[in-house]
Amino acid sequence: MKTSFITLILSLVALSYLSGCYYDNEEDLYGPPPPVPVCDTLQVSFANDIMPILNSAGCVGCHNSAGASGNVNLADYDNAMIPAKNGDLLSSIERDGNASFMPQGGQKLPENQIQLFRCWIDQGVLDN
Q: What percent of the chain lies above the pLDDT cut of 70? A: 77
CB-based contacts of 50: which residues, under 8 Å, 6+ apart? 44, 80, 116, 117, 120
More confident residue, 42 or 76: 76
Residue-wise pLDDT tens digits, 93-102: 998 888 888 8
Residue type present at position 9: I
Q: Is 83 exposed, middle or buried (0-12, 13-18, 19+ CB in 10 A)?
A: buried
Residue-wise pLDDT tens digits, 11-56: 777 766 666 555 556 666 666 666 655 665 557 899 999 999 999 9
Q: How confident is the model at residue 85 (pLDDT cuts 50, 70, 90)?
A: very high
Output the pLDDT for position 19: 61
Do 98 and 91 contact (CB within 8 A), yes or no? yes
Do 95 and 51 contact (CB within 8 A), yes or no? no
Do 37 and 120 contact (CB within 8 A), yes or no? no
More confident residue, 107 or 2: 107
Cis peptide before 52 (omega within 30 of 0): no
Q: How confident is the model at residue 75 (pLDDT cuts 50, 70, 90)?
A: very high
In angstroms, what is the C-alpha Rg of the chain? 25
